[in-house]
Every structure is written in C-alpha cells, then in structure tokens.
Structure 1
C-alpha cells in the first residue's frame, strides 16, 4: 500500500462520515434510535462494498467494475488494518485529562454500579460459554472461544471487538472477528431500543420518577446538531499555537500513553517467557493486544501529570476530540470490512449469542439491579444496562432520558464506576485475556472462574450495598 492509497482511504472515510451525518439529520427513524453517524456511515460502506453490492453485481455481471463494490481492493485492505490501530488511541485516552478521584469516594458513590457492572459482565461469560458448550459446539461445531463474544461485543463494543482482530487470527478463530462486530451492532441497537421501552414502562409504573422522555431532547438535539447560540468551545487551549498547537500536544500525550503501554506489554511477554512460560508452555501475554495496556499507560501518564505538571497541559475536552475522531474512524472501518458471509455461515452461533446476551442484560436490570443498588436503582441501573449492551455512551444516553436534570447520583456514580470497571472488563485486561485463557486452559475452567466471579459480585452487591437502602430508594 502506497502513502497515496492510505491517504485516499481516509478521505473516503471522511466522505462517508459526512453522508452518514446528513442521513441522520434527515431521518427521523434513525434519530429515534440515536444511532451514531459513524455506524450509519459504516453500514453504508458495507452496503456499497464487496460484501453486498459487489456480491450482487458479481452474480449478474462478473466483469463489471462494480463486481467488487464501489471501493477498490487496496481501500478495503487499508480499512481492515485501521481498527487494530485506532483502538489503542481510544483506550489510551480513557483517563487522560480526567483527575483521578480518591478511591474511597469512587467506592462510596460508584460502588453499587461497580458491583452491578462486574456481575453483568462476568455473567455474560457464563451464559455465553454455557450456550456454546451445551448447544452450539455439539450441534453446530462452534469454536469454544465464541463463549467470550458476548462480553467482548456487548460491554466492549465495536472498538474492543475490532481491536481483538489479531487475537482472533492468532488463536485460530478468525470468524470471531466478524461475529463480534455484528454482535456489537446488535448490542447497541438493542440497548437503545429496549432501554427506551424500559424507560416508558418505568414512567407508567412509577419506577422512573424523573423521566423527561422525548421532551428532554430538542429537534436539533435529536439530529445531533448543537444550536448556533449554544455552542461552547469543544476544547480549551492549554498552549499557545505559536509555541506548539494544543492538538499536537494532546496527540503527543496519547502517543506517550500508548508507548508506556507497549513497554509494559513487552515486559510482561518477557517476564512470562523467562518464568512459567518455558516451564509450562503456557503463554498468555503474547496473545493479549496492546489496547488494555495502552489504557494502563494512560493512567500512569495522567497520574504523573496530575502530580508533577503544575501547568496541567492535558485538557479533557481536547482528549475527547482525539478519542472521538479515532472511535469514528474505527467504527466505520470495522463495519465496512465485516464479512456477511462469515456471519451467515455461523448464523446459529450469532443469533444464539445475541438472544441470550440481550435476555441476560434485561433480566439483570429488572430483577437484580433493585436488589444491588440501594437508591435510585432505575436511573443508575439504566446506565449499567446501556453499557452492558453497547458502549458507555448508550448508558449515558439512557440516563439522560430517565434523569434529564441530574436529580439522582446516577451520572456521578456511572462516571466513578469506570475507574474500577474499565481497567478489567468491558475492554480491559480481563476482556483481552479471556480468549487466551480459554485457549490455554479450556472453556470449563474459565466457566468455573467466571461463575465464581459472577456469584461473588452478585452476593456482594446484594448483601453489602443492597442493605444500605435509603428513603430515596425508588424501588
């Protein structure tokens, strides 16, 4: 691939994002689903690419210039490499520019949601592995590694699923990439649709006492357009451009975080090799991707900046723009290169995992959240439900609808939750290591460990936090 081909591939992604944005602006149905423009753009790229348009045209006119879709082969090759690169930027940015809070406050305010989120995530491993071992593997020959796909795709989202692409290949489960991207799409759609349904039911039954419903979003809010008179600065300039552009500084800090993560990963690979690796022939870290360690690198860089940088050069708003751009590119490129044929060949596994994943998330919210979250369980549990089916943004969206004026501790608790949640599950170290662990030790030992963790967080949430119900409880 030449530099010109790579550059042109990015230009087309930009054009697709613009088209996706304007489709969302004028499509009421898509607005009601709150679908990000990047997903619309990625779906459009998939439809116009070799998997849909190319497949249809090749059946009737194999010599046509559109027999492989509207995009040249080199562009598809470039796009296929982007998710694995940009996921490192997304995860390295998670804690940069965010003042690391006191862990005691994190635990007091966000503890119930930490317990709930951990329980749901580990439970996704349990139900996924049980389904694979009892049904999918015996009847359809599904790879046991598929048992990890619900947590990877639902809690991890498109970014995590795409970032594990190389791990899927190294473990001989290449079809897992396409299945996980497809499941991530199902997760976001189900999270928004079912979440809005739950809010409406909650409003009618009195469980959702602060719900603003659709009235909490203006027409321009639904389209994703900020009113001209209400446009705040998207970032704060922490350096003067004549010395160095602020955006350049923040890109550099993200790069530093990724570099620290790479050093950590290489250290763990080396340490594993000289200790138990050679003796037992068990290797885990060589299958672990970079992005969870890039997140750890971000925490380290932020901790040093918070302690030693008296100028506080890292601005969270700017970091959000860097991360948002990277996530948009990642989602478009991941969806554009998904293989529909692979999903079709593994349709039973795809549908089975999607159904049990959604059912588990709904049941956990309706029946376990009231027992684990001592107050405002509906609003706080919605955030966990949204994150467990899609991404953190889905949880934020649902909480915004259910509690538009932030009258509950849902938003604060959800933010604190990430400090003790993201480093482990939902794209963290456990998510990255799940498939290597299943590959090395088998599905049954990992199932036992996951069941134990699910039970631990369930009982801890019920017996520790659940007993702290207050008069503010909306149960």
Structure 2
C-alpha cells in the first residue's frame, strides 16, 4: 500500500469531519443530543462505506461504497496508532498537585469512579459466565467488554485490537467499538435526561432551568468574544515550530513506553513466563505504557524545563485532533456483520452496562460525595458510559460558571484513575488476565475491589460533613 493512499485516506476523514460538523449545525436534534462531530462523521462514513452502501449494491458495484478497500484498510489501522498519542498526552504539561490535596478534593470521585469500573467487570464477567459463554459461545474475555468500551471508549477498544486477535477473540474488537458507540450515545442522551430531572427536582445546586444551556454549548461554535488561542507559542519558529516541538515530546513519550513494554516482555519471558507458561505483557498494547512514558517526560520537564517550554493547551489540541480522527476512523471501519452475528450478546452487554451505571450514579453519588453530589457525580457517570470528555461536557452543562468544585475534583481524580482503569494498565491487561487465569479468579478479585472502594466512598468520604 502506497503512502499516497494512506495520505488520501486521512484527507477523506478530515473532509468527513467538516461535513459532520455542518450536519450537526443543520439538524437541531443532533445539537440537543450533544453528539460529537467525530461520531456523526463516523456514522456517515459507515453508511457510505462497505458495511452499509456496499452491501446494498450488487454485481460488485460499489463493494466498498463510495470509498476504496485500501482506504477502509487504512482507517481500520489508524485507531491503534492514534490511541498512543491520546494517552501519551494525558500528563505532559500537567502540573501535579500535592498528594494530600489530590486525595482530599478528588477522593470522593476516585472512590465512585473505581467502584463503577470494578462493578462493570463484576456484572460483565457474571453475564458472560452465566449467559454469553454457555448459550452464545463467546470467549470469557467478553466479561471485560463493558469496562473497556464504556469507561475506556473508542480509543481503548481500538488500542486492544491486536490483543483481541492474538488471544483468539477477534470479534471482541468490533463488539467493543459498537459498545463504545452505545456508551457515548447513552452517556449523552441519558445524561441530558438526568440534567433536566435534576434541574426540575432541585438536585443540582448550580443549574436551575434546562433552558440555561447556551448557544455555544448546543452548536459547538464559540462566540467571537469568548474565543481563545488553542495554544501559546513557547519557542520561536526560527528555531522550531512550537507545534513540532510538542509533537516531539509526545513522540519521545511513546518511544519510552515502547522501550518499557519491550523490557517487560523480555523480563517476563526470562522469568516466570517460560517457567510457568504464563504470558501477559506480550498481549498488553502500547498505549498504557505511552501514558507512563508521558509521566516520565513530565517528571523530567518539571525538574529541568526552566524556560517553561511546554504549553498544556497545545498538548490538549494535539490530543483532541488524535481523538477526533481515532473515533471517526474506528466508526468508519466498524464491522456491522460481526455485531449482527452477536446481536443478542451485544444488546445484553449494552443494557446491563447502562443500567448499572445509572443505578450506581443515582444510588452511590449522594452517599459518597458530601457536597455538590450531582454536579460532581455526573462527571463520573459521563465517563463511565462514554469517555472523560462526555463527563466534562455534562459537568459544564450543569455548572457552566464553575461554582462547584466538580471540574477540579474530576481532574484530580483522573491522576489516580487513568493510569489503572478507563484505558490504563488494568484495562489493557484485563483480557489477557481472564484468558490466562480464568474468569472465576478475576471475578473474585474485582468483587473484592468493588467492595473495598464502595466502603471507602460510603464510610469515609460520604461521612465528611463539608468539602474543603
């Protein structure tokens, strides 16, 4: 496959993003649902591609829809690459607060977030053991799909593509991408329903009327007077473009992650791997180690970057671009045939995951979060059904003037949350763990973890009288 085809495939994706934005501006219901443009563009590419339009044609005409098979093949490979950029960006330029403050402010949401994530493993594995494996023949690894897709999102699901294939569960990739789409849709739609409910029932201390949602929030277009730069130039273009410099830092982070992963693979093979025939790290994807590489780069910068060359807004811009292209390419290359062949397990996983998230948010939110429980908990709900961006969006709708500590607490939570679940090390290793050790031992472990964080949230954080 030539580089020209790769470049043209990316250009078509960029054009589809613009078309998706125009569609969102013209269709009010899409604005009310707050659907990301990347998801709209992905749906459009899916409809015009081989899985929909291609199957409606006969005699080989438009087999790949309006695209080519090579383009679709490029799109299928992009998410696994782009997720490394997304995770490498998580902590570069992020000033870490003192651990005590991080725990005090973000602790309740750490407890709630972890409880939801571990509980997703619990119900997912139980559903798999009792229904999906015995009646539908799905791999026991399907028990990890709810957490991978709902908390991890499209990026994590895409990053695990090779892991699914190497462990003999190739259909897990398409199921995970499909579930991630269900997660985002349910997170936004159900989240907005609960925002309206909270406004009418007085559950929110910051949002009084559903009509308070601004034009900017609905359309995604920022008014001229509110616009700001996507980044600050910290280096002179005469020496190096600031954007290129920040891309270089991200590249170094990914390379460090690659070296670390290869070192663990070698160490595993040299120690218990060959002796016990247990291999985990060779199935773990690169992206969680790219995140660790980013942390290492940030630690180095915090000690030696005397000129403050790193601009967090620029890093966020690069991360956002990678995430947009990741989602649209994952949707564009989604196999509806695989989902159709496993439609009942897919529906069961979707229903169980959504019901669990709603219950835990409404039941545990008031018990774990001592103040502004709805403003803060809605962020955890959004993340547990979609991605962190969904949670942030819902928090901004509920608290547009940032009157509550929700955003700060959510940010602190991510520092202790993302490295482990929601795409972190545990999420990446969950499928290999289930395959290597069996579903029952993993189920026992996640039940214990769910109980521990449930008790931490209700008996410790929930008993605090005030937020300070």
Question: Which residue, 314, 322, 343 being the options, matches 1:347?
Answer: 343
Deviations 1:383-418 (A, max 9, x none): 100000001111111111221211111111001000
Matched, 1:248 2:244: yes
Counterpart for residue 62 of structure 1? 59
Question: Which residue, 369, 387, 405 being the options, matches 1:373?
Answer: 369
CA shift, 1:67, in A, is 2.8
Counterpart for residue 392 of structure 2? 396
1:212/1:257 Cα in 2 relative to 1: closer, same or farther (>3 Å)? farther
Counterpart for residue 469 of structure 1? 465
CA shift, 1:227, in A, is 1.2
Whole-angstrom distance in 1 between the partners of 2:435 and 2:399:
43
Whole-angstrom distance in 2 between the partners of 1:439 and 1:136:
15
Instruction: Could you list the structure 1 runs, at least 4 aligned residues long, displaced by more than 6 angstroms after superposition.
Output: none
CA shift, 1:214, in A, is 4.4
Q: Pairwise mapping of residues 21-36 of structure 1 onto structure 2 (< 5 A)?
A: 21-36=21-36
Counterpart for residue 319 of structure 1? 315
TM-score after normalising by structure 1: 0.97
1:3/1:213 Cα in 2 relative to 1: closer, same or farther (>3 Å)? farther
CA shift, 1:48, in A, is 0.5
TM-score after normalising by structure 2: 0.98
Give SS of 2:51's match: helix
Whole-angstrom distance in 2 between the partners of 1:2 and 1:68:
18
Which one is further off, 17-26 or 84-93? Answer: 17-26
Which one is further off, 195-204 or 37-46? Answer: 195-204
CA shift, 1:218, in A, is 2.8
CA shift, 1:440, in A, is 0.2
Q: Pairwise mapping of residues 269-280 of structure 1 onto structure 2 (< 5 A)?
A: 269-280=265-276
How many residues are paired up?
468
Whole-angstrom distance in 1 between the partners of 2:227 and 2:457:
41
CA shift, 1:262, in A, is 0.7
Q: Pairwise mapping of residues 409-424 of structure 1 onto structure 2 (< 5 A)?
A: 409-424=405-420
Asked if 2 retains the 8 angstrom alpha-carbon contact of 1:212 and 1:401, the reply is: no
Whole-angstrom distance in 1 between the partners of 2:77 and 2:308:
34
Give SS of 1:235's match: coil
CA shift, 1:434, in A, is 0.2
Counterpart for residue 257 of structure 1? 253
Question: Which residue, 128, 138, 147 being the options, matches 1:132?
Answer: 128
Asked if 2 retains the 8 angstrom alpha-carbon contact of 1:42 and 1:334, the reply is: yes
Counterpart for residue 163 of structure 1? 159
Matched, 1:120 2:113: no
Q: Pairwise mapping of residues 323-334 of structure 1 onto structure 2 (< 5 A)?
A: 323-334=319-330
CA RMSD after TM alignment: 1.2
Whole-angstrom distance in 2 between the partners of 1:171 and 1:361:
28
Asked if 1 retains the 8 angstrom alpha-carbon contact of 2:217 and 2:397, the reply is: no
Matched, 1:105 2:86: no
Matched, 1:335 2:331: yes
1:318/1:173 Cα in 2 relative to 1: closer, same or farther (>3 Å)? same
Unpaired runs of at least 5, structure 1: none
Whole-angstrom distance in 2 between the partners of 1:301 and 1:418:
18
